[in-house]
Structure 1
């Protein structure tokens, strides 16, 4: 297979999985988590990915990035108007308990799966084929398109979801390139998603003072 064909396949296969094959299976959230993790592991293996999970540099960068995100959520929760807005998202929980969602499905189905597919496997392939600058753009765009079906299923704006997740993909990809490890982007990814699940619940518990 030529490099062009390999690159097209590496871009197309994850998009087909996320936006067509996985939804077509009709699995519940637990089944989707298992399927996503299995697909990610297989995809990364076929692509000869080297995630370098135990990188000390990856841990350092990741802890700093995650701490900044956690601080941002903490500051947001101190602002009544922002807290009121966050509390409105609490009803968007999946069909499992919040503890299971945050402790199992976010780390495995979202963080592990997406970091293995995109930062461990796809980004290095794109960098080798097109250079790091173009690879960064293509990888981030593919990451955005990965979220088309999830955005539709949640009733979110598809263009806005693509733009937001592609922007996130740029930051996550930069961390992988900077550290040579998926640990840093994984920790940032976990902080963003787990914080996004926790913050609305904390906002509801704190409440918003009447004006």
Structure 2
């Protein structure tokens, strides 16, 4: 069987974005208008002779006040729409059966801490929850026929950890395929610079190990 190993590591960094808002001042403008009123009647003056007197036109009748329009009925208040039910929360994936592989996880932990002690580093502790989700990653690779840090189902290992509620300041992942024993997979990881760096990182305090026997899929999750 072809054997493969990959490694992946990430540190969280804070980034800040400066948002600058510009105030736009708009000066108020006012329009002025004038209306001119004329007298209601005008008389034309006459010359001394041959005068034609033009009668002053009578003042126009004041027009009737317009009728007050009927006040329209107040429209009915529309019914308040019902609040839709929140969507169902997606169910958690089925956990692989780790009963037969928990001893493998313990053996990997022992081998990891042996290497760390030889390099003056503190021991990691094995976390059951982290191991269960590391096993989900191994099962996902097996079921979907891929070998990569990026899952077509869950995304990056860091997205996957967060989706399962795993918090961390530092995180890393080692994966392998085609190895049937803890000793064999640890030898392969320690002979790879990237995998070795994760195993011997001083940033990590906790380890999770997931294993699927069919195909020999391994996942190590480190957090700190």
Question: Shared topology, TM-score over 0.5?
Answer: no
Structure with the bigger RCO (C-alpha within 8 Å, sep 6+) is: 1
- The normalised TM-score by structure 1 is 0.31
More helix by share: 1
Question: Which protein has the bigger strand share?
Answer: 2
Query: Larger Rg: 1 or 2?
Result: 2
